[in-house]
Structure formats: structure tokens, C-alpha cells
């Protein structure tokens, strides 16, 4: 799939986890009572049907079950959602269908069921390969258990990826280098490597404010980032996006839909969408609280809480912000089409002189390796 090919992705959000990790601010909730999956399945079915009336004739190129922890869903629920999608739209024969999974032994037992339902790619939240660190991160699995789940994913799915979090408290580049090499030995065609972010209103934010989390300083963070780029590139998985590494062709096609500003539907509690309707781009968001979302869908057929047409400026800023995260950068002609004017050549020239961006022969603008750590500033400058 290239930048210019049309793509349509469907994102399904499962908003529950067995416990809440202290660093995480995703829309995920812990419930003591069992979840009524039948009721959720019906609501997913309803919301997909309502949306499809506005988006006729689409061919689905990617589907992504994200969370929360979608690997807590029964395979029959996943199959039901895929059925609902297939009843409304054509699913491309080569569609990428990903499910995010927590790497515990219980969840790995469901992998074959997901495969039978149609999932062909798994993304596992391994986070670290050190049991002490996993405990600090509040994870419910050991490193061994996670690697066992990776081994099962390797045999069950066509493709798999896993996530690690780095730039963790007290982490040194040397230790990270050996952990990363051990991870690469287990990797398939894709790895997501996220630098720990302290999200507001999380237990980690409180610990940080109290001086109880010693995060790497700027210099160490930079060294950790550089180490990551070098080791992954040397192993044949260069970064194709700030935090995502793949062998050529192994990129997550669903995430490329977001970064290349293609169209996607967001289904389920707290899901976001970007819909192209009659030449306008709609930004949609649904109700975040699972039970409220359920009642809304049951009462009026959808859980939308906002549906706004983006202005030309909002669209072009988003195009820059998302596209410049990619190593392939953006197509300058496509930018000019979206924005109604080209990017300022003087600003590009100045950033170029500083070594933060480069232009390619085929008319693309991309951020360089030294530019990536200051991406937000580069985008702000270009968008000004
Ligand atoms: C929405 S989570 C879902 C994955 C799955 N529930 C799990 O935890 O295994 C997706 C990924 O985001 C990353 N993540 C979540 N919070 C983060 C934070 N504060 N900083 C860096 N990465 C984070 C983790 O690597 C996680 O695997
Ligand atoms: S990191 Fe994953 S398991 Fe942990 S709270 Fe967030 S979504 Fe749930």
C-alpha cells in the first residue's frame, strides 16, 4: 500500500482491563462484575450499521481491535464484530486484521480462536523483559510468560508485533541495549518501542510529582533513543515512524491509515474517526464511559458525542502532524492540495540548513534523525 492509494480502516475499542497499569491513561476500565459481551456485541453491531449508512461503498483495508485489553474478549465476540463489518462493507481479501493482546498465559490460550475468527495479526504488550521492571509497571505477567505468548503468536498468526516501553526510571543505555537485542531475537516483522510518557492524573504522575520516579535526564534519553535507532536499523527493522520499527513491508497498515491521513471509522467507547463525506472531513468521537456508551447506542443507534467538520487549516495541520512522524515523510503536492497552498519554501530552507528536514527527488519532505526528537517544534514551525 502506498501513500497515494486509498485506504479505509475500522478501529474497534474494547475498554476493559483486568487491572490498571500505573502509567496508562488509555480509555480502559476495571470492572468487578463480568462484562456482558453479548450486549456489547449488539451495540457494536448497531453502531457499525448506523455509521455504514453514512459511508456507503467502502472497501475495508484494515481492522484494528485496540484497548484496553481486547484479548479479554471471547473469540466468538470478535467473530461477531467481524461479521457485522462484513455485512456493511466489502472487506478486502488481503485486509490486515489486528488484535491487541496482553501476553498472559490465559490470553494466549484464546489466540487460535481469534485466528479462526479472522484475526491475522497480533500486537502484544510485552513492555519489558525484566521481571522487577514488569512489577514496577504493574504488569500481570512475567518476562517468561510474555515470551511464551510471543512464541504462540508466532505459530498462530501470519504476523505479530510487540511493544516495549523504554526511557524508564533508572534505565541506562547499556542495559537497554541488551534488553532490546534480546527482544529483537524474538521479533517478527514489527516492533513498537515507546518512550515512557508521564501522563497527567496517573499514579506515575503522582509518584513523579513526589520525586519518587527518577526518569532519565535529557542526555540519557537522547542516548537511549539513539541506541534504539542504531540497534534496530542494524537488525533490519529501521524506524518507519517515531516509535515503530519494521522490516520493509512489515509496517502496521492500520496505523499507516492514521499517519497518511486516510479515512477510518472509530467504533466503541472513546473511539475516534476521520470520515470523508461529500468532500468534507469529519472528526468524530464517541462517549468514553462504557456503560454510558452502551445506553446511548441502545437509545439512538450510535455513541457519538462529537462530529465536527474540520476546517482547511485544521486538516492541513493534522496532515503535517501525522505525516511527519513517518520516515517516508509527506507528499508536498498532496499537502498543497489539502491546505490550498504550498508549504513556505523559506521555512523549509531554514529547517533544512539546521539539518532537521530533507526533501527527496520525488517531492517528499521528511524529518531527519536529528529532527525527530524535536518533531513538535519542526511541525509548529512549518504550520505557522
Ligand atoms: C493501549 S495499550 C494496549 C496494550 C495492552 N492492553 C497491553 O497493555 O498489553 C498500547 C501500548 O501503549 C503503550 N503505552 C501505554 N501507556 C504508555 C505510556 N504512558 N508511555 C509509553 N507507552 C505507553 C504500551 O506499550 C502499550 O502496550
Ligand atoms: S497498558 Fe494495557 S493493560 Fe495496562 S491499563 Fe493500559 S490498556 Fe490496560
* 194 Cβ inside 6 Å of ligand 2: no
Beta bridge partners of 13: 66
pLDDT of residue 1: 56
DSSP string, 49-84: HHHHHHSTT-EEEEEEEEES-GGGS-HHHHHHHHHH
Torsion angles phi and psi, residue 251, rounded to 5: -60, 150
CA atoms within a 13 Å half-sphere pointing along the CA-CB vector of 130: 13
- Total Cβ atoms within 10 A of residue 258: 19
- Give residue 366 CA to ligand 1 midpoint distance, Å: 27
State the pLDDT at residue 105.
84
Hey, whose CA ends up nearest to atom 26 of ligand 1? 125
- Cβ(303) to ligand 2 under 6 A? no
CA-21 nearest atom, ligand 1 = 8
Q: What pairing do the DSSP bridges indicate for beta strands 244-246 and 304-309?
A: unpaired
- Residue written as cell 533490519? 236
What single DSSP character describes residue 309? E
**Ligand that lies nearest to the alpha carbon of residue 103, given by its number in the listed order:** 1
Query: In terms of Cα–Cα distance, which of 270, 280, 342, 271 is closest to 310?
Result: 280
Q: Give the distance (Å) from ligand 1 centre to CA of residue 101.
A: 11
123 lines ligand 2 (CB under 6 A): no
125 CA to centre of ligand 1 in angstroms: 7
Instruction: Decide whether any atom of ligand 1 lies within 6 Å of the 19 Cβ.
Output: no
- Ligand 2, residues 16, 19, 21: which to mutate, most atoms within 8 A of Cβ? 21
Which residues, listed in sequence order, are joined to residue 31 by a DSSP beta bridge? none
DSSP states of 245-287? EE-TT-S-HHHHHHHTT-EEEEESTT-EEEEEETTEEEEEEE-
Number of the ligand 2 atom closest to the C-alpha atom of 100: 2
* pTM of the complete model beyond 0.75: yes
346 preceded by cis ω (within 30°)?
A: no
Is the CB of 102 within 6 Å of ligand 2?
A: yes
- Given this model, what pLDDT does residue 10 score? 98
Q: Is 194 in the pocket of ligand 1 (CB under 6 A)?
A: yes
| Nearest Cα residue to atom 6 of ligand 1 | 69
- C-alpha 322/C-alpha 264 separation (Å) is 14
Write out residues in the chain with pLDDT < 50, as ranges. Answer: none
Give CA–CA dist 52/58, Å, rounded: 9
28 lines ligand 2 (CB under 6 A): yes
Nearest alpha carbon, ligand 2 atom 6: 24
Which alpha helices (H) appear in the chain, and where do they start and end?
A: 37-54, 75-88, 105-108, 111-117, 131-136, 143-156, 173-184, 203-209, 218-234, 253-259, 290-300, 312-323, 332-339, 345-353, 375-383
Amino acid at each position: 500500500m502506498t501513500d497515494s492509494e486509498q485506504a479505509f480502516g475500522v478501529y474497534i475499542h474494547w475498554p476493559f482491563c483486568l487491572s490498571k497499569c500505573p502509567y496508562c491513561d488509555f480509555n480502559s476500565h476495571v470492572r468487578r462484575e463480568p462484562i456482558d459481551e453479548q450486549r456489547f456485541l449488539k451495540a457494536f453491531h448497531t453502531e457499525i450499521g448506523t455509521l455504514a449508512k453514512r459511508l456507503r461503498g467502502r472497501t475495508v483495508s484494515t481492522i484494528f481491535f485496540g484497548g484496553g485489553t481486547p484479548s479479554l474478549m471471547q473469540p466468538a465476540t470478535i467473530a461477531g464484530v467481524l461479521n457485522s463489518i462484513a455485512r456493511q462493507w466489502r472487506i478486502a481479501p488481503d485486509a490486515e486484521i489486528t488484535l491487541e493482546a496482553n501476553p498472559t498465559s490465559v490470553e494466549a490460550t484464546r489466540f487460535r480462536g481469534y485466528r479462526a475468527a479472522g484475526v491475522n495479526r497480533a500486537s502484544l504488550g510485552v513492555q519489558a523483559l525484566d521481571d522487577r521492571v514488569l512489577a514496577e509497571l504493574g504488569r500481570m505477567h512475567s518476562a517468561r510468560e510474555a515470551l511464551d505468548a510471543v512464541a504462540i503468536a508466532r505459530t498462530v498468526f501470519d504476523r505479530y508485533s510487540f511493544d516495549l516501553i523504554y526511557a524508564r526510571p533508572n534505565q541506562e543505555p547499556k542495559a537497554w541495549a541488551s534488553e532490546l537485542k534480546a527482544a529483537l531475537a524474538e521479533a517478527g516483522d514489527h516492533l513498537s518501542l515507546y518512550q515512557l510518557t508521564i501522563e497527567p492524573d496517573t499514579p506515575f504522575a503522582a509518584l513523579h510529582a513526589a520525586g519518587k520516579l527518577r526518569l532519565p535526564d535529557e542526555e540519557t534519553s537522547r542516548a537511549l533513543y539513539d541506541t534504539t535507532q542504531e540497534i534496530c536499523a542494524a537488525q533490519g527493522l529501521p524506524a518507519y515512524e517515531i516509535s515503530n520499527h519494521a522490516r520493509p513491508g512489515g509496517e502496521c497498515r492500520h496505523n499507516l491509515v492514521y499517519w497518511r491521513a486516510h479515512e477510518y471509522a472509530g467504533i466503541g467507547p472513546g473511539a475516534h474517526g476521520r470520515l470523508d463525506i461529500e468532500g468534507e472531513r469529519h472528526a468524530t468521537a464517541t462517549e468514553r464511559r462504557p456503560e454510558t456508551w452502551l445506553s446511548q447506542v441502545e437509545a439512538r443507534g450510535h455513541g457519538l458525542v462529537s462530529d465536527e467538520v474540520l476546517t482547511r487549516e485544521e486538516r492541513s495541520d493534522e496532515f503535517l502532524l501525522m505525516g511527519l512522524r513517518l520516515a517516508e515523510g509527506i507528499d508536498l503536492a498532496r499537502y498543497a492540495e489539502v491546505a490550498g497552498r504550498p508549504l513556505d519554501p523559506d521555512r523549509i530552507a531554514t529547517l533544512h540548513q539546521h539539518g532537521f528536514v530533507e526533501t527527496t527527488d520525488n517531492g517528499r519532505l521528511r524529518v531527519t534523525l536529528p529532527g525527530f526528537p524535536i518533531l513538535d517544534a519542526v511541525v509548529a514551525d512549518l504550520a505557522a
